[in-house]
Structure 1
Amino acid sequence: MDNLLTDRQFWVNYWESKTGLSVNIPANYLFHKELASIINTQNVKTAIELGGFPGYYAVFLKKYFKLDVTLLDYFVHQPVTNSLLQANNLKESDIHIIETDLFNHKEVQQYDLVLSCGLIEHFNDTADIIQRHIDFVKPGGTLFITLPNFKALNGWFQKSFDKDNYDKHNISCMDPDLLAGICQSAGLKVKQAKYFGYFSLWLENEKQKPAGVRLFKKSVWLAGKLFTKVFAFNSRQLSPYIILEAVKPK
């Protein structure tokens, strides 16, 4: 089976369908506490975001932590990234950009922090794509991976109302124990592998969905938010994300 669940044209179409990409990244951006803890305790100076176009986390790390940051993706539309940098009072030179296919990239520099947010689930061979992340991690450095949890209610929404998008994801990899096991087998020390977040729902290009779908999604979203405000806990059934943090031995 082909390892790729998407191709370059998919991502060209995906990003060309988006508007409002140049946003001001806030200090409390998603996963900010986890990233701050890694940076402050591990003396992180360099970082690379894999598969991260237009570079939200690269911008976040440069803007708030002044790291030496690189963005690697096999689709980078430079004007979009430049506009994002400008929206966050950064210069074009503040982020190193590598536009390449991760599977053909030979000259691998290593970094204190290697992260991807929503990348590994687009590949069938989870161990292989994680190993490609690990190759970028310095000895003593940290690997930080996040991905959506489509085994939760949010996944049912994707499958029911956006099957094409759902089918672009490897659902079987959405398992913290599986991810932890892959890292342990590669010799890393797993700091955490868990479901993350109390509840959320989203649909790609939601404004293009029928009004009934949008209303139903909003109703369930509100009900879920009220429920998890009272009963706040991470769970496979409701948490929208999975996070993995592991350290490579020195």
Structure 2
Amino acid sequence: MANLLTDRAFWVNYWESKKGLAVQLPSNYLFYRQLADVIQKGNVKTAIELGGFPGYYAVFLKKYFQLDVTLLDYFVHPPVVNELLKINELTESDIHIIETDLFNYEPAQQYDLVLSCGLIEHFNDTTDIINRHIAFVKPGGTLFITLPNFKAVNGWFQKNFDKENYDKHNIDSMNPALLQSICEKAGLKEVKSSYFGRFSVWLENEAQKPVGVKLFKKAVWLTGKIFTKIIPFESQALSPYIILEAKKPLLTFFVKSNLT
């Protein structure tokens, strides 16, 4: 599958390398303000998180907004999901799980809110993966996508200290203007695409990095936080994330044949 920058083995290894995946999700979880605004304005009742294992946002939306939520991913390990649910005082029946290849799946239903956080940048064809998201959006519903901004300082860290992880990302997709254009061409309305967050840097599996790298990362993180607190702004150079939000018209003429 040429469009995919990762495979199942990559995700199995990725998640098996993670420790402490079951955590209590706070009410101010990342992007909570933006999601709360979408839910309130759109009268959202149903939501699906694409590519979201172990389901942090699905659990978050169920826990704090009582939505009817679904998690869809290529790889789902139920014990991890169940542990996450339990620690957040939810049960196995509180979220629906679909384990499938997004490229071979026909949506059985559409949702008021379709979101993914850190998914689309793992595909070469950004237009195609966004159109696959749109297929899940109910007319009148909202598309909400976030992705890391590796064109910022954080990307320099990834490229220099975790090149293998960096190469699993489509850097060209990290362009708000491109993302907005794709949605507008697909017929979506009220499209908003922008950088998010003042500053942050991170490394995957940081505990396994050399001490010197960890100290350098900590120094840069602290310097950046102080700088952007004094002069607060969001930009391509510093912001760690990009947020894309768009509405699907009640009368839509989205062409299914766009999915190749």
TM-score normalised according to structure 1 size: 0.99
Which aligned pairs between 1:67-82 and structure 2 lie closer than 5 A?
Answer: 67-82=67-82
Which aligned pairs between 1:222-233 and structure 2 lie closer than 5 A?
Answer: 222-233=222-233
Quote the residue 2:29 is aligned against.
29
Contact 2:49 2:115 in 1 (8 A): yes
Q: Which amino acid aligns with 2:5?
A: L
Contact 1:147 1:174 in 2 (8 A): yes
Q: Structure 1 stretches of 5 or more lacking a match?
A: none
Instruction: Tell me if 1:221 matches 2:221.
Output: yes
Q: 1:190: how far off?
A: 3.5
Quote the residue 1:117 is aligned against.
117
Q: CA RMSD in A?
A: 0.8
Structure 1 Cα separation of the partners of residues 240 and 74 of structure 2: 26
Give CA deviations for 1:114-154 in whole Å, capped at 9, x if unaligned: 00000000000000000000000000000000000000000
Q: 1:163: how far off?
A: 0.2
Structure 2 Cα separation of the partners of residues 119 and 109 of structure 1: 21
Quote the residue 1:241 is aligned against.
241
Contact 1:108 1:135 in 2 (8 A): no
Structure 2 Cα separation of the partners of residues 27 and 113 of structure 1: 19
Aligned residues: 250
Q: Percent identity?
A: 75
Moved more, 203-212 or 107-116: 107-116
Runs of 4 or more above 2 Å deviation = none
Structure 2 Cα separation of the partners of residues 82 and 28 of structure 1: 22
Q: Which amino acid aligns with 2:211?
A: A
Q: 1:107: how far off?
A: 3.8
Give CA deviations for 1:6-26 in whole Å, capped at 9, x if unaligned: 000000000000000000000
Q: Which amino acid aligns with 1:48?
A: I
Give CA deviations for 1:11-54 in whole Å, capped at 9, x if unaligned: 00000000000000000000000000000011000000000000
Give CA deviations for 1:55-104 in whole Å, capped at 9, x if unaligned: 00000000000000000001000000000000100000000000000000
Which aligned pairs between 1:1-250 and structure 2 lie closer than 5 A?
Answer: 2-250=2-250
Q: Structure 2 stretches of 5 or more lacking a match?
A: 251-260
Structure 2 Cα separation of the partners of residues 105 and 32 of structure 1: 29
